[in-house]
Structure 1
Amino acid sequence: MSSESERGPVGIIGGTGLTTLAGLKITGEEARSTSWGEPSAPLVQGRLGHQSVVFLSRHGNPHRIQPHQVNYRANIQALYDAGVRTVVGVNAVGGIHPDMGPAHIVVPDQIIDYTWGRGSTFFEGDLEETTHIDFTWPYDADARAILIAAATARGLPFSDFGVYAATQGPRLETAAEIRRLERDGCDLVGMTGMPEAVLAAELGMRYVCLALVVNWAAGKSDHIITMEEIEAAIEPGMSGVKGILEASMAELGALTPKSS
């Protein structure tokens, strides 16, 4: 753990609605550029108690950048340059596992990447050597434990496991594709989990996913997926997500940077 004076900001990547966390004091906004281009939106800086936080809207503000067009490298690099060493990625997902229906919260432990054509690594171009990183456990164990403890303490319905299937989007999946993902062992399906997680790992950052199920995946209910259904799950579910973030932020900020 680090002392309060040594704490860097905790990064939160998600929607703009997360800036309404109870007790959050917004202290500034900063537009950053990186060698990988522009991030999705300016970094919103704030404090939650004694912990500094940095919010980044993954899809921009307003929400208009498609999942396959997000500049994930610029987003992660901008957070790193701002001093962030622990990142919480908040993701809206579809539920495949029978216990993971709408408004259910999940702290996944694994991910399978089905995306293609995205800028998925910092290790490219004219490098001096080939570089590989270990990605056996894509989500930081210490950060996961903190989120799980916060969810448990608040008595929220949540799952402390899950395999996240990262698909290309922006369309939703077919029922046959979801059956394939289920055979592969996937519990959740979303479009933004990769390459966000691996890019953070390449920079030595702690990264953890806090997923909110907003709909049953294709073929898992007796009706087609509608935006009305998704919006109905977001409101109650996001309340729980915010509560977990509020309760865990100080402990997340106290984690020793992996790269130190």
Structure 2
Amino acid sequence: MFAFTDKVVLVTGSASGIGKAIASEYAKLGAKVVLNNLVETPDILEFVEELKQQGTEASFVAADVSKRAEVHNMKLHIEKQYGKLDILVNNVGASLIKKPFSEITDEEWDLHSDVNLKSVYLVTQEMLPLLQSSEGSSIVNLCSSVIRNGGIIGGSAYTAAKGGVDALTRALAKELAADKIRVNGVSPGLVDSNFHSENVANKYPHLIQEIPLKRVGKPEDLAGAVLFFSSPYASYVTGEVLEVGGGARLK
């Protein structure tokens, strides 16, 4: 059984979906959890209270993780309240616009890069001093299966940004090994979460038939992989990106 007693964990984009599931699992196993969302909402404050009632030391920081100043303020919050950071989960990501590559504007391209790739750069760089001061710290980046299959037609901006996250994960694993910081990635396949604008089973029934396990993934399926990478059971694993997609890559 994994245990994260007294470990401080930051999960970006943890108001709902995969991020919320990841934060919940860390909390169950004894971690002190820092939640993040773009803005403060009643739902996320209720989630924080639920965690506290369960005995978890939890806090929330509103921050746009594509903006340096807001990320820096989040770092100061963690430093002041906990004095350290053991695990960073870069979960924030979004496919915001789908249109032919020839029609994508500079602003739309930059938006996808900011949300999906620049956020990983900023949060990781700002949190690095805290991670370096913790023994056996770990970073897990949420990538995407689109880095393998090219994604859907009209999603090139998102696919390119996530490709950058994949490459950055491997580059950081090399560079940060000297600091004993492990860096790995988890690539969600088709998952029923708020990433999609509607029930994913209704939206992509043809894709489900191509998945060997014949079902849509759940946020909790991704949480298990993230927790493994940041646990002592993966102490000799770095620079790996695991696709959690029901066997879709076998097709």
- Confirm or deny a common fold (TM above 0.5): no
Q: Quickly name the TM-score band, shorter chain normalised.
A: 0.3 to 0.5
**Between structures 1 and 2, the one with greater helix share:** 2
The structure, 1 or 2, with the larger RCO (C-alpha pairs under 8 Å, 6+ apart) is: 1
